[in-house]
Structure 1
């Protein structure tokens, strides 16, 4: 079953019906040419958005940044803390933060959201776990610890459209321990064994939770900036 799932995933046949992260990001950014990717990590999904002509990857953890450069995920790279960033208003068509906000306190995260909404011309795209998901530092990276949790309503109140991602939350473990640098086993995130079976169930459940983000493992949030084309 593992090989079948991996085969189907690599064919990308399920991207659209299951609203995978890659498909959702491609759709959200299809009218964008320049993107600021805050907390880009070692293998940003932005690399699958072939229409992007210019992108800046921000990453504080040096091993992640070096891996991103190796994979040529962005046009430019900046090794800085997210809080240290400053750009002129409307510098990029879009600003994205995929699995970033949960690594900061609510206060700092709100400041980062406000900055992202200022720097973007057209839209801001955010992904976060649904609610608080415990995670200590992985990859010898203390910045990987989770410090906050987010709900769909919190983003709706800021003007974001929110959809569910990654299947039913109840199928996943309450704590995340998978490496981003060394390719952790996604099946180990499932609550029950065999992980490959429950991962398949999770994939099918994505067809449903996309429309009911409160039940999903993760949230995909998009805000259109007023005045953007």
Structure 2
């Protein structure tokens, strides 16, 4: 059995809980991470690129919410186990294994390019370069999601590329032309938030409290744990 398969089995219970929340709870709240992304994606998308797609949860939700239901969706990641997961579950129509610093796509070949939770895994120089390249590949819009500031993370899932190498402020994304909204109040689920003092299986009880503060996080990203930016190209 491959090492990657062992990793998935060892983490299956933890991920089952997390994915149930992602799939059944988050999309019902418009100011949640997935709720904001769903609202930001424009209508009439025929081709979408999911850069560093990981396990494909955002794309799964977008397809189920009908935003990208009829579009041809391509997932890109350097970690083969993620792509196997997405392909086996039909989350993407096609998957490409490559380094996101060297995307092999022509200009204006996708209506929407999603860069969700990826630029923090690159150096600041490479992260900004990826956003610039994404703007060339996209016809209509680029959507980026990243933590607010630098948040330490080591490799996980047996994937060395999961390590965080950089952090961004709201002002940096705004200066690059993105309209930015925050998600998840850092006082609840931030690195030093209330939830960090409890074991993972108890933290879920703080979800209603986090959503109560979601308008503050949305309007003032500096108080948020993460942010989502959208840049319209037409």
After TM superposition, the score normalised by the length of structure 2 is 0.81
2:201 is equivalent to residue 190 of structure 1: no
Contact 1:33 1:51 in 2 (8 A): no
Contact 2:216 2:223 in 1 (8 A): no
List runs of 5+ in structure 1 lacking aligned partners.
176-187
2:187 is equivalent to residue 170 of structure 1: yes
Contact 1:125 1:223 in 2 (8 A): yes
Tell me how large the CA RMSD over aligned residues is. 2.4
Instruction: Point out the structure with the larger helix share.
Output: 2
2:104 is equivalent to residue 86 of structure 1: yes
C-alpha deviation, 1:162, in angstroms: 0.3
The corresponding residue for 2:42 is 30
C-alpha deviation, 1:207, in angstroms: 2.4
The corresponding residue for 1:63 is 81
C-alpha deviation, 1:14, in angstroms: 3.8
List runs of 5+ in structure 2 lacking aligned partners.
1-16
State how many pairs are aligned. 207
2:24 is equivalent to residue 10 of structure 1: yes
Q: 2:53 aligns with which of 40, 50, 56?
A: 40
C-alpha deviation, 1:141, in angstroms: 0.7
C-alpha deviation, 1:10, in angstroms: 2.2
Name the CA distance, whole Å, in 2 between partners of 1:171 and 1:220.
Answer: 18
C-alpha deviation, 1:191, in angstroms: 1.8
Name the CA distance, whole Å, in 1 between partners of 2:108 and 2:39.
Answer: 21
Q: 2:134 aligns with which of 101, 112, 116?
A: 116
Contact 2:49 2:73 in 1 (8 A): yes
SS of the equivalent of 1:210 reads helix
Is the alpha carbon distance of 1:89 and 1:159 closer, same or farther for their aligned partners in structure 2, counting shifts above 3 Å?
Answer: same
SS of the equivalent of 1:191 reads helix
User: Which whole-Å deviations, capped at 9, do the CAs of 1:44-86 have from their partners, x for residues lacking one?
Assistant: 3122223421111001101111111112111110011101213
SS of the equivalent of 1:209 reads helix
SS of the equivalent of 1:132 reads coil
The corresponding residue for 2:14 is none
Name the CA distance, whole Å, in 2 between partners of 1:74 and 1:8.
Answer: 18
Name the CA distance, whole Å, in 2 between partners of 1:7 and 1:144.
Answer: 21
